[in-house]
Structure formats: C-alpha cells, structure tokens
Amino acid sequence: MIGKLKGLIDSYGEDFIILDVNGVGYVVQCSARTLQNLPRPGEAASLAIETQVREDAIRLFGFTSDSERDWFRLLQSVQGVGAKVALAILGVLAPGDLASALAMQDKAMVARAPGVGPKLAARIVAELKDKAPVFGSVDPNIARLAGDEAKSAPKPVQDAISALVNLGYGRPQAAAAVGASVKALGEAAETGALIRRGLKELAG
C-alpha cells in the first residue's frame, strides 16, 4: 500500500493530479480544496496517500495532511458515504471546520458539499459527533474548552458550558457553542449571554 508520495506535479485534471515520482506518473485524486493548495506544474509536492484497491482498479487519493486523510477514512465509515462524497465534503470544509460542524451538530454546513442531501448530512453528523474530537482538529479554543483546560477558562465560560451540559448537550458540542459565543460576544460576555447565544448556536 502507498501511504505517501513525494515528487513533481506533472499536470492537473478536473479532480486529480499526475505526480511524477522519479519518472513514474501517479494519478492521484484530490479534493477541490487540496487542488487549490498545491503548487504549479513542475514544482515539488508531498501528499499523504490513501490507497483503495478494487477488483478492477487501484485508486490513489491525495491529501495535504495526515489529518485530512484520517477524516477521509472516517467519513467513509458512514453508510452512504463513498470516496467521491468524502472528497466533496473535504472540498468545501477544512478538517477544523468539519470537526467544529460535527461538534456543533451543524447539518447545514455538512450539506453544503455537492451530493450531500439533508438526510445524509444528518446521518454524518449523528454518527460522527463523538468520534470527531479524537482527531483533535477542532478549533484550538474549542478543544481547550472541551478538555481539562476548561478549568482555567473564565468563570462565565465554565458556567455556560456546565449549563448547556446540564441541558443534555455533550461537552464537545457545549464547548463549541460557548467557544463560538465568546468569539461573537467578546471575552467579557456574562454567563447568561453566553448561554443564550450558545443555545442559538446549537439550535441553528
């Protein structure tokens, strides 16, 4: 299995590149976001690779980071999500945005990807909400609030997270909502305002 390729970009296709590795041209499929971030033909590139072997073909999928490849694998654990849909989701959402969307149960954000309808978006969010933080790709502020460091957060922030958890939300979701609220309202926001804004975030 190929796990990484390093070489020169030979050419671009609609959803792939040909990567020249010591004279061998590998066809590597990439998300739209990855394609935008790669250099011009003739320049060097290094990609984390996911190899998929089928009866009739061997396909290579390329990613700019191991984290993005992990998300590609994780997304395909959801019924109805194949390689094409997983790439489409990663094409519109960076790993950190996807983690935040899952933590906040934001189905609409996931449904922005081509080929992802409301039902599939709901299934992705429901099935992956508890697995997302494992990859640590959430906004660092949100990850901090969800972990042990929440104890060092300002008291209104701690209280707002606790209040949302007591209402039945998971800690990652509560932390994500309060984290977004702090961003919107400012560091000096009081507990009540953070809870109200947090509930709006979670309802949205």
Do 89 and 117 lie in a common domain?
Answer: yes
Rounded Cα distance, 46 and 64, in Å: 7
Q: Alpha helices, DSSP H only, in the chain? A: 32-37, 66-75, 83-92, 95-103, 107-110, 118-128, 140-146, 155-166, 171-185, 191-203
Please count the structural domains in the chain: 3
Do 36 and 57 lie in a common domain?
Answer: yes
Rounded Cα distance, 13 and 81, in Å: 23
Tell me which of 85, 107, 135 is where a domain ends: 135
Do 124 and 86 lie in a common domain?
Answer: yes
Tell me which of 135, 156, 185 is where a domain ends: 135
Report which of 160, 157, 89 is spatially closest to residue 128, judged by C-alpha positions: 89
Do 59 and 71 lie in a common domain?
Answer: no
Report which of 154, 172, 162 is spatially closest to residue 195, judged by C-alpha positions: 162
Do 99 and 123 lie in a common domain?
Answer: yes
Tell me which of 78, 101, 135 is where a domain ends: 135
DSSP secondary structure letter of residue 59: E
State the pairing for strand pair 44-53/16-21.
unpaired
Do 22 and 80 lie in a common domain?
Answer: no
Do 75 and 117 lie in a common domain?
Answer: yes
Which tokens hold the place of 124?
């992705």
The CATH number that applies at residue 25 is 2.40.50.140
End-to-end Cα distance, the chain: 42
- The SS3 assignment for 82 reads coil
**pLDDT tens track, the chain, 204 positions:** 899 999 999 999 999 999 999 999 999 999 999 999 999 999 999 999 999 998 888 999 999 988 889 899 999 999 999 999 999 999 998 887 787 788 777 899 899 999 999 999 999 998 887 665 444 444 555 555 554 445 567 888 889 988 988 888 777 778 888 888 888 898 888 999 999 998 988 876
The CATH number that applies at residue 84 is 1.10.150.20
Read off the pTM.
Answer: 0.66
Do 109 and 83 lie in a common domain?
Answer: yes
Do 144 and 155 lie in a common domain?
Answer: yes
* Domain region containing 88: 66-135
Q: Is 173 exposed, middle or buried (0-12, 13-18, 19+ CB in 10 A)?
A: buried
Rounded Cα distance, 93 and 89, in Å: 6
